[in-house]
Structure 1
Amino acid sequence: LSGFNSIFAVASVPMAKLYYQEFKKQMAEDPSKSLKIATIFSYGANEEEADGVIDDENSEDTSALDQNSRDFLEDAIRDYNVMFHTNYDTSSDKFQNYYKDVSLRMKNKELDLLIVVNMFLTGFDATTLNTLWVDKNLKMHGLIQAFSRTNRILNSIKTYGNIVCFRRLQPRMESAIALFGDRDASSIVLVRTFKEYYYGCRDDDGKPVRGYIDMIAELQEKYHASEHQIIGEKNQKNFIMLFGAVLRMRNLLSCFDEFVGKEGISERDMQDYLSIYEDLRQNWPPKGPEGEKTDITDDVVFEVELVKQIEVNIDYILMLVKQYHDSNCEDKEILVTIQKAVDSSPTLRSKKKLIEAFIEDVNDSDGNDIIGDWNDFVFEKREEELEDIIKAEKLKPEATRNFLENAFQQGEIKTTGTDIDSMMPPVSRFTKNNKREEKKMGIIDRLKAFFEKYFGIGGNRSFFSKKEEN
């Protein structure tokens, strides 16, 4: 799944070396396969454990490694240093710092894949870890500990972990589950087969469980993607619940290779349904006869994280804009596709007017560098709007720009502390505290809307660039 990372557990240091070198070779041959990969190990036996039980390898000590293993680890750490501009090696102090840095970057999703022998299998927790690749024998508590590394629930996208075994470990797994838990617990920790999720099955009590293909059939039969509006509160609620179930099942099926090409719905129809879903989310609960939103305390839940997982990004939109320009701005079908894509995206909806304004300007562009044109356009619009906010709210320019510079770097607007107060104009002694607070909340709302509109879409030059250019 995108947004997650994984660990590859192998049986020995020579195996780790072979896998690491093969990954490097394939990435060099095909840049599209580029991944951020690292490896770490420290124990000296270099042989596969006879009993499959994981030794305690958290000593972070490389002194027992033979020269070949140490040379390989030095080379791998040099690759890591180049990738992250660090300065680690296999010496005692620096290797301990390397261990800590690898751990932090795994938790922050800065590494895609970590190749290990024993390390990180028993004492490491990261909710972003969603896959464990296994090419070694494991059993009993070692197997349970290793497998549990991937099973930390993070959100509605990651509700389980993926274990990909290159050895026949299922009998060992069943034995371990029986020993350390309920003998029938395998049904709790193991997902069903692709066919059971896709076509439906019966649960442990014999009750029918609807499959994905039936959900899609009901969705398309009851709600037409092209209608863009669902009339009636009951119908709306039923759609929200059905489409949410579809999203959850798609998320589960996405871990199966068999699902590719069997989505059962076109990309355009999916975008239309996503657009309807997002419209309902923004306007839920519905307004009553007097125009006020009704007080509904029911079980309606919107799967926002799952929607964001499959939404389009700005690069896709710019690709379509390029196609539109290359058609001499005559292919109106591309404009429809752009509109559907933007409407289906919670992230891009707040940037819709900005995108539409850019498309209008495309006629005046030579079209050779759409991305560059977009970045310049976003930067200019961002500057114009920021200047308007500063003047209208009488904010201190440098303090405001400092605040937004930090917000765009950190990925959020922070409203606690004294930052907002420091950019506001001096307080008159005749100004009441509640008026001051009301003014502050208005500024926060404007800055949040500004951030939502311009964050994550390019043009993110420094907020002092305009000043520097002048």
Structure 2
Amino acid sequence: MRFHIDYYKPEANRQGEADNPTGSKAKKNSAKPNQAVTQRAVVEAILTKHDAATSQRRFNALLATASINDAIAYYNLFKDIQTERQAEDPDFIPLHIACVFSPPAEGNKDVKQLQEDLLQEKADNRQEPEKKKAALQEIIADYNVRYGTNHEFGEFDRYYQDVQQCIKDQKYRNSDCPRGNKIDLTIVVDMLLTGFDSQYLNTLYVDKNLKHHGLIQALSRTNRVLNDTKPYGNILDFRAQEKAVDEAIALFSGEDASRSREIWLVDPAPKVIDKFDTAVAQLESFMEVQGQPCTPDAVNNLKGDTARAEFINRFKEVQRVKTQLDQYTDLNDEQQRQIEQRLPEDQLRGFKGMYLETAQRLKAQQGKTGIEASDAQETIEQLEFELVLFSSSIIDYDYIMGLIARYSQEKPGKETMSREQIINLLAANSNLMDERDDIIAYIDTLEAGKGLSEEAIGNGYQTFKAHKAEDELGALAERHELARDALQAFVGDIRDRMIFDGEQLSDLFAPLELGWKARGKAELALMEELVPFLKKQAGGREISGLAAYE
């Protein structure tokens, strides 16, 4: 996986970029190598760019600093500036910051051994060790409060291991591991810059001089392959080290040194914008061939599964390139306008919704044979939907419940987000595909201006969903001539144990006194409808034994 490197330039120097959108070297670098950038400017830049760099906090990041004193200063500065921003803007969501550096050894053999490969930290700890010890004690105390742990200074390795695990926990969905338990940014000196791997770490902020092997090692913390939501490792360098980067990648390219930039670095933004333009143009051409305008609503008018499958492939490419662009931290205002004009955000969101709707339809068709097979069955079987490209690290259950609560609290006509906008947001993200219809149905029961709290909204939705499930099961029991209570008890047992018991399925049909052949046919007919219901109830968890009926 390659790297995208943004050599930081203060905002005052960015006007030249707008005048030189091709990104040619003549005007690209106004900062000099190792030129000092104030720490406050670094923090402000990180807070501005972090959400884009990490795909709205889907991933997390490291900040590599030049010394332990710098790490301490950055840690305190983040606390101060984020407190200021929260006071100025109630909607500001602060980054969860951790900091890790080795403590003064003070005769501790384990720490001495640890510092053998931490040359900068080893040297730093010889100067004013008591101050560094006090700072690390405060950092660990803050961590304990934030994450509900009880680490002590004297057991530094436990703290260090916990920080590493917390960084890796970024891989879990917020529903499984709440965002409050995750780390957005870890401030380091030498630690974690070699040997530490996490697929969900994608960004490195650099405020220290690096070269050769050490530079490649540090950058490589960000480029562990995951999927298309992580198209490259993201580097934001505050030391203008382009020459050092060029030297390092040439050194490690061997015989291909002349192609080192092509091998190691992603295309500059203008080239990727051209790819985006091409992908959109190909989507437009496809819709034109189908006799349709290139609009989200027109996707409903596509005739046949062959056309629908082609739409999946065309728009998936648009979304893949857009995902790459969304993580570029060096787009200037003109480039951002160019992207928005090519495919406005509202239209993009509409296409995402149609993609997910079409994908669900074709995904359900996969595996069908005989009379159930489509004329385009072979094409459908080869489709890869890559729904992860359409997921969001922000738009989860809690986020949607919060939006619905706000909708219910605001007077009709005065809503900051309307019912239709909430539904469009739901439709354009794959996170809640299984619950989307239920949430929309629930929203339809609410009125703007009723003033319900987020807790009341959440409880109301769970009650609504439970009643809806009961009604669905009741209808299912009636269609298959089963006792409603018996079917509900059967499903309840599966849901509680997450185990499907075939014998209990046979017991369910016993009152009908069917012959073995008729009973087998009746069981299969029931399971054809019950499997999707059970999978939806399981919420992504596996039900042991159910796969035999899929």
Q: TM-score, normalised by structure 1?
A: 0.75
Matched, 1:71 2:155: no
Q: 1:369-380 to 2 correspondence within 5 Å? A: 369=452, 371-380=454-463
Q: Which residue of 1 aligns with 2:146?
A: 83
Which one of 359, 363, 373 corresponds to residue 292 of structure 1? 373
Give the counterpart letter for 1:187 in structure 2. Answer: E
Does structure 1 retain, via aligned residues, the 8 Å contact 2:101–2:188?
Answer: yes
Choose 178-187 or 419-428, whichever is displaced more: 419-428
Give the counterpart letter for 2:377 in structure 1. Answer: D
The C-alpha deviation readout for 1:403-432, integer Å capped at 9, x for no partner, is 4xxxxxxxxxx6xxxx4449958969x998
Quote how far apart the aligned CAs of 1:336 are.
4.1
Matched, 1:273 2:351: yes
Quote how far apart the aligned CAs of 1:253 are.
0.7
User: 2-side partners of 1:301 and 1:444: how far apart?
Assistant: 23
Secondary structure of 1:39's match? strand
Q: Which residue of 2 aligns with 1:224?
A: 295
Report % sequence identity. 28
Q: Which residue of 2 aligns with 1:263?
A: 340
Which one of 249, 271, 275 corresponds to residue 196 of structure 1? 271
Matched, 1:354 2:425: no
Quote how far apart the aligned CAs of 1:70 are.
1.0
Matched, 1:391 2:485: yes
Secondary structure of 1:350's match? coil
The C-alpha deviation readout for 1:317-344, integer Å capped at 9, x for no partner, is 763685477454899x945444433333
Does structure 1 retain, via aligned residues, the 8 Å contact 2:405–2:454?
Answer: no
Does structure 2 retain, via aligned residues, the 8 Å contact 1:321–1:359?
Answer: no
- Residue 37 to residue 441, structure 1, CA distance change in 2 (3 Å): farther
The structure, 1 or 2, with the larger RCO (C-alpha pairs under 8 Å, 6+ apart) is 2
Secondary structure of 1:163's match? strand
- Residue 442 to residue 274, structure 1, CA distance change in 2 (3 Å): closer
User: 2-side partners of 1:125 and 1:238: how far apart?
Assistant: 37
**RMSD of aligned C-alpha atoms?**
4.1
Does structure 2 retain, via aligned residues, the 8 Å contact 1:156–1:306?
Answer: yes
Secondary structure of 2:205's match? strand
Q: Which residue of 2 aligns with 1:7?
A: 62
The C-alpha deviation readout for 1:356-378, integer Å capped at 9, x for no partner, is 43234324x86212533421222
Which one of 201, 215, 218 corresponds to residue 279 of structure 2? 215
- Residue 136 to residue 423, structure 1, CA distance change in 2 (3 Å): farther
User: 2-side partners of 1:168 and 1:304: how far apart?
Assistant: 37
Does structure 2 retain, via aligned residues, the 8 Å contact 1:215–1:246?
Answer: yes
The C-alpha deviation readout for 1:57-80, integer Å capped at 9, x for no partner, is 39x999867111111111000000
Does structure 1 retain, via aligned residues, the 8 Å contact 2:404–2:443?
Answer: no
User: 1-side partners of 2:133 and 2:422: how far apart?
Assistant: 53
Does structure 2 retain, via aligned residues, the 8 Å contact 1:38–1:113?
Answer: yes
Does structure 2 retain, via aligned residues, the 8 Å contact 1:157–1:305?
Answer: yes
Structure 1: state its 5+ residue gaps.
46-53, 201-210, 404-413, 455-470
The C-alpha deviation readout for 1:276-296, integer Å capped at 9, x for no partner, is 212321222779995523431
User: 2-side partners of 1:27 and 1:308: how far apart?
Assistant: 28
Secondary structure of 2:210's match? coil
Q: Which residue of 1 aligns with 2:536?
A: 449
User: 2-side partners of 1:425 and 1:300: how far apart?
Assistant: 34
The C-alpha deviation readout for 1:269-318, integer Å capped at 9, x for no partner, is 12221122123212227799955234315764323111113895553576
The C-alpha deviation readout for 1:94-141, integer Å capped at 9, x for no partner, is 111111111110111221111110001111110110001111111121
Give the counterpart letter for 1:379 in structure 2. Answer: Q
Does structure 2 retain, via aligned residues, the 8 Å contact 1:395–1:424?
Answer: no
Does structure 2 retain, via aligned residues, the 8 Å contact 1:38–1:114?
Answer: yes
Give the counterpart letter for 1:292 in structure 2. Answer: A
How many residues are treated as equivalent by the alignment? 416
User: 2-side partners of 1:113 and 1:18: how far apart?
Assistant: 15
Q: Which residue of 2 aligns with 1:244?
A: 316
Give the counterpart letter for 1:14 in structure 2. Answer: N
Q: TM-score, normalised by structure 2?
A: 0.65
User: 1-side partners of 2:486 and 2:95: how far apart?
Assistant: 47
- Residue 353 to residue 192, structure 1, CA distance change in 2 (3 Å): closer
Give the counterpart letter for 1:27 in structure 2. Answer: Q
Does structure 2 retain, via aligned residues, the 8 Å contact 1:43–1:57?
Answer: no
User: 2-side partners of 1:251 and 1:3: how far apart?
Assistant: 12
Quote how far apart the aligned CAs of 1:442 are.
7.4
